[in-house]
């Protein structure tokens, strides 16, 4: 057996023993040993994508939804560079990926050899661990090296305290395909019991930080939060309101305050509702009023699985802990009741404005969540869609919401949605802006043998970058439209037709439930106007604050 085939076969077998179930592959020559080994492995589900960027975000979606490492394979050169945006997102949001890049052997580097770039530590600090595997050779000891390396890569990606991407760079010499010889200088087989070469034991649960009892506490939940249900139950017993971003997974139940963006945007409310303690799970980052308010807390405790990497964009954290115990506190419910009254008043005002807005972007976000069946998955784009959900979504159970808010880019979202849908046991949906959709329309390209998800892509088309109309740049009238608004004029129906994707144009908001029905990958387009959307957001803020002032007396 030639060394390239031996290394690929051993590596793929060992990763499957560790628990790998999904591999995403982009075709190439130098990666042929890995491609053939994966294709022959019945324990793995293979996904092939011609575009490396699309492939990498597909893997990201699969790993984000499943919570397990997904392997990502490409050839050498710029193919590996196209993985970089997804690796960055995985690194920032703690998504486990195994990035396996094929490379030229050392003797071909720095020689001008075709398709050869410097791939050593290509992704820099975005990965949790990097290893240059080295060109395989037929000599004793290689099998133990390869199998132990695979186990280390798997467990470092998995975490559990600090999951994220791991990069293995594999230099292959020719021949790159099996040569018919099956002999090797030592046994290639793994552990006889079928398990992994190395078994990593999980550390015991961390000792929790015990808080003193208080009724004036608040639980804030952002992106990437863990153990959400346990903390929500504890907050409920303590009489704390829960402020959860949509993708934080905690916007449900009697203690959920869904209008916190508007509440905390009113100085009178923010000042009179300063908590004694705030406990933050995950990384909140959608609402500027919330971030400003966090600075006013007397005690701000950040819960982080890895205490060496804690999120604190406001630099307001006073303590960091791996776990926190929120005790039941004696006293009345005046604190929680005040939050609830304010939330109900603002919710009524917001819904009244949205109900009169027709087919608007915030109403589409609100009504979409309401229309989804239980056990649904919804991936929201990182710009306006997730913010519209944050400001308009009512509390509800039965919907899992995801977003690529690690680096908050608009790239790769169609493919991320595809991957997440493939890992989800139920119907899946995505709420995307037109620029996000166009940025990754290659994600619609599926070969005839590829696994196909049940995914409805809802695309808000305002012919450009809608979020900029809500930012100070909108005042720069002369350059604004070209350098920020960026109208594209693309007819999405033709783009859908080019890939054979079923397409529906939403004419009225009342047609949404019907438009969402179907199976397989499909597109629903909703056309809106950027200027009208900016005016509506201002109207929402004014109506919310007027209702809140009236409720405060």
The confidence score (pLDDT) of residue 482 equals: 79
Task: Please check whether the domain covering 3-171 is classified as CATH 3.30.70.920.
Answer: no
**In contact, 437 and 409? CB cutoff 8 Å:** no
**In contact, 26 and 55? CB cutoff 8 Å:** yes
**468 class by beta-carbon count within 10 Å (0-12 exposed, 13-18 middle, 19+ buried):** buried
Per-residue pLDDT tens over the stretch 430-448: 999 999 999 999 999 999 9
The CATH number assigned to the domain with range 216-344 reads 3.40.50.1220
The confidence score (pLDDT) of residue 472 equals: 82
Could you give phi then psi for residue 159, rounded to 5 degrees? 105, -115
The confidence score (pLDDT) of residue 293 equals: 96
Mean pLDDT of the chain: 95
Structurally, at CATH architecture level, domain 361-527 sits in 3-Layer(aba) Sandwich (3.40)
The confidence score (pLDDT) of residue 505 equals: 98
Per-residue pLDDT tens over the stretch 117-155: 999 999 999 999 999 999 999 999 999 999 999 999 999
pLDDT band, very low/low/confident/very high, at 486 (cuts 50, 70, 90): confident
**30 class by beta-carbon count within 10 Å (0-12 exposed, 13-18 middle, 19+ buried):** buried
The single residue listed with the structure tokens 């519209």 is: 388
Q: What is the 3-state secondary structure (H, E, C) of 465-534?
A: CHHHHHCHHHHCHHHHHHHHHCCCCCCHHHHHHHCCCCEEEECCHHHHHHHHCCCCEEEEEEECCHHHHH
Residue ranges matching CATH 3.40.50.1220 in the chain: 216-344
Per-residue pLDDT tens over the stretch 299-318: 999 999 888 889 999 999 99
Rounded distance between C-alpha atoms, residue 431 and residue 414, angstroms: 10
Whether 326 shows a pLDDT value over 90: the answer reads yes
* Percent above pLDDT 90 for the chain: 88
Whether 475 shows a pLDDT value over 80: the answer reads no
Instruction: Report the predicted TM-score, pTM, of the whole model to 2 decimal places.
Output: 0.95
Whether 207 shows a pLDDT value over 90: the answer reads no
**162 class by beta-carbon count within 10 Å (0-12 exposed, 13-18 middle, 19+ buried):** middle
Per-residue pLDDT tens over the stretch 73-106: 999 999 999 999 999 999 999 999 999 999 999 9
Per-residue pLDDT tens over the stretch 11-33: 999 999 999 999 999 999 999 99
Least confident interval from 132-146, 379-393, 411-425, 483-497 = 483-497
pLDDT band, very low/low/confident/very high, at 197 (cuts 50, 70, 90): very high
The confidence score (pLDDT) of residue 553 equals: 81
At 6, list the tokens. Answer: 């031996």
Residue ranges matching CATH 3.40.50.970 in the chain: 3-171, 361-527
The confidence score (pLDDT) of residue 309 equals: 86
């Amino acid at each position: 057996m030639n060394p390239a085939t031996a290394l690929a076969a051993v590596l793929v077998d060992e990763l499957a023993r560790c628990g790998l179930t999904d591999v995403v592959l982009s075709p190439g020559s130098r990666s042929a040993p890995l491609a053939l080994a994966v294709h022959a492995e019945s324990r793995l589900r293979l996904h092939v994508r011609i575009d490396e960027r699309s492939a990498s975000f597909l893997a990201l979606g699969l790993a984000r939804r499943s919570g397990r490492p997904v392997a990502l394979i490409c050839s050498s050169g710029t193919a590996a560079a196209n993985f970089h945006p997804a690796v960055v997102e995985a690194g920032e949001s703690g998504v486990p990926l195994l990035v396996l890049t094929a490379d030229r052997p050392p003797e071909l580097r720095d020689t001008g050899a075709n398709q050869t770039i410097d791939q050593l530590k290509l992704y820099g600090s975005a990965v949790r661990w990097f290893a240059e595997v080295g060109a395989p050779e037929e000599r004793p000891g290689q099998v133990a090296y390869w199998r132990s390396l695979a186990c280390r890569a798997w467990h470092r990606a998995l975490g559990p305290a600090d999951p994220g991407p791991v990069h293995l760079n594999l230099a292959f010499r020719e021949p790159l395909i099996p040569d018919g010889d099956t002999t090797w200088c030592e046994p290639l087989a793994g552990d006889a019991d079928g398990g992994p070469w190395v078994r990593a034991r999980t550390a015991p649960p961390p000792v929790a930080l015990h808080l003193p009892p208080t009724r004036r506490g608040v639980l804030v939940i952002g992106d990437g939060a863990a153990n959400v249900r346990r903390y929500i139950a504890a907050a409920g017993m303590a009489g704390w309101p829960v402020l959860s971003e949509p993708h934080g997974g905690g916007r449900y139940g009697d203690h959920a305050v869904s209008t916190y963006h508007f509440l905390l945007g009113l100085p009178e409310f923010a000042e009179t509702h300063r908590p004694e303690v705030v406990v933050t799970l995950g990384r909140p980052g959608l609402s500027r009023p919330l971030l400003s308010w966090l600075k006013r807390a007397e005690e701000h405790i950040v819960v982080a699985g890895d205490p060496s990497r804690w999120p604190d964009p406001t630099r307001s954290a006073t303590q960091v802990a791996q776990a926190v115990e929120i005790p039941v506190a004696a006293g009345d419910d005046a604190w929680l009741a005040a939050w609830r009254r304010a939330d109900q008043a603002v919710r009524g005002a917001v819904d009244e404005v949205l109900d009169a807005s027709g087919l608007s972007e915030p109403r589409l976000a609100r009504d979409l969540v309401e229309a989804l069946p239980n056990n649904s998955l919804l991936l929201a784009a990182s710009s306006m869609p997730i913010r519209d959900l944050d400001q308009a979504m009512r509390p509800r159970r039965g919907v899992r919401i995801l977003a690529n808010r690690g680096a908050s880019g608009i790239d790769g979202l169609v493919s991320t949605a595809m991957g997440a849908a493939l890992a989800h046991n139920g119907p899946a949906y995505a709420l995307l802006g037109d620029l996000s959709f166009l940025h990754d329309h290659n994600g619609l390209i599926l070969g005839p043998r590829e696994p196909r998800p049940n995914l409805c892509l809802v695309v808000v088309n305002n012919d450009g970058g809608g979020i900029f109309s809500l930012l100070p740049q909108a005042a720069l009238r002369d350059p604004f439209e070209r350098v920020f608004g960026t109208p594209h004029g693309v007819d999405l129906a033709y783009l859908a037709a080019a890939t054979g994707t079923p397409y529906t144009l939403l004419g009225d908001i009342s047609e949404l439930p019907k438009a969402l029905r179907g199976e397989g990958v499909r597109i629903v387009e909703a056309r809106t106007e950027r200027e009208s959307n900016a005016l509506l957001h201002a109207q929402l803020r004014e109506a919310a604050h007027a209702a809140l002032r009236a409720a405060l007396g």
